[in-house]
Structure 1
Amino acid sequence: MRFFILLLLFNLLPAIAQNAQEIFLNKLTALEKVAYEKHEIDMSGLYEARGFLIETTGITYELEGTFEFPVFPPDHILKAWRAWFEENKYKLYWDAQKKTVAVRKE
Structure 2
Amino acid sequence: MTLGYGHHVSGWGWFTMSAGVILLWVLIMTIAVRLNRSQEHVRSRATPPAEDVLTERAAQGEIDQAEFRRRLDALHAPPGASARRPDINDAGGASRKPAEPRTPGP
TM-score when normalising by structure 1: 0.34
Structure number having the greater helix percentage: 1
Which of the pair has more CA radius of gyration? 2
Task: State the structure with bigger RCO (CA 8 A, min sep 6), 1 or 2.
Answer: 1
Which one has a larger percent strand, Structure 1 or Structure 2? 1
